[in-house]
Structure 1
């Protein structure tokens, strides 16, 4: 049935799909108990599978009354996700963060798998050789342009 991280991710995504609020609030210790794991395993899943690049915001408060709030960002025309991503991309964007973002665009059916492969290929920087020094800066600018283009409703 897959590894523990996969099962936790699937479980959280199912709960998110069932809620009409667009977010869920959980207790880390209860979730860890349900999966018979340590709370750090829950943290691992949140930090690797529920990132902003993948369309989620995670708020966490530790301690006795601690909680986790997982918010799924909207993708509609000029949705929250595009706005947040343009802000969080900043001046530089790593290849790993780019791939997570492009995967989310596929998941939301804003781009096809083929388009995603082209975007990843172009933004990888593999064909630029060793002379180009500011690839993360260029990648950030290009990704912001892609997000802006996807949010326009006057495309041909």
Structure 2
């Protein structure tokens, strides 16, 4: 059985996919009423499931007429996506952020399931068995190195 966060995420993603602009505006309180949950549950789903690493931009306006706008960012091509991710990484990278990026690479057909699995294993905290913040520094360096071959992959390569 799926939990309420999964149901809310699926609902929002479906609404975005059905939108011509690949974005939606919603009111937190209305969504909470629809799903019979507290507004903080909606905040949690948006904060954790619609991140930059996963390819979303979230804008919000507070107040009486406030809304939340969620935009699905579509890269120009696969190389552009990999380049964006490389620039996003910086000098430290958490396991969650890296996992989100790997998930997006898989969803966008930049990597296949086997490559995703290899990448997840390489950046996992048990593999990088050192203390923070060194672990996040190593993860950033390793992840950037893993992305380099995908910047130049031919579009004709079999996925």
* TM-score, normalising length: structure 2: 0.82
Q: CA deviation at 1:91?
A: 0.9
Shift of 1:5: 0.7
Structure 2, unaligned stretches of length 5 or more? none
Q: Aligned residues, how many?
A: 155
Partner of 2:100: 100
Q: Which residue of 2 aligns with 1:119?
A: 119
In structure 2, the CA distance between the partners of 1:123 and 1:66, relative to structure 1 (3 Å rule), is same
Structure 1, unaligned stretches of length 5 or more? Answer: none
1:54-65 pair list within 5 angstroms = 54-65=54-65
Contact 1:60 / 1:68 at 8 angstroms: preserved in 2? yes
What is the DSSP-based 3-state SS (H/G/I as helix, E as strand, rest coil) of the residue aligned with 2:71? strand
Q: Is the Cα–Cα contact under 8 Å of residues 60 and 69 in structure 2 kept in the other structure?
A: yes
Distance 2:69 2:48 in 1: 16
Q: Residues 121-156 of structure 1, C-alpha deviation per residue, up to 9 Å, x if partnerless?
A: 112253454489723223213323444432435487
Task: Give TM-score, length-normalised by structure 1.
Answer: 0.84
Check conservation: 1:53, 1:100, Cα contact below 8 A.
yes
1:125 to 1:30, Cα distance in 2 relative to 1, 3 A: closer
Deviations 1:99-141 (A, max 9, x none): 1111121222221111111011112253454489723223213
Matches within 5 A, 1:6-45: 6-45=6-45
The 1:130/1:144 distance shift into structure 2, 3 A limit, reads closer
User: What does residue 72 of structure 2 align with?
Assistant: 72
* Residue-by-residue CA offset, 1:31-82 (whole Å, 9 max, x unaligned): 1121111111100101111111222121122221111111112242344x44
What is the root-mean-square deviation in Å for CA atoms of aligned residues?
2.5
Q: Distance in 2 between matches of 1:147 and 1:13?
A: 26
Task: Measure, in 2, the Cα distance between the counterparts of 1:74 and 1:7.
Answer: 23
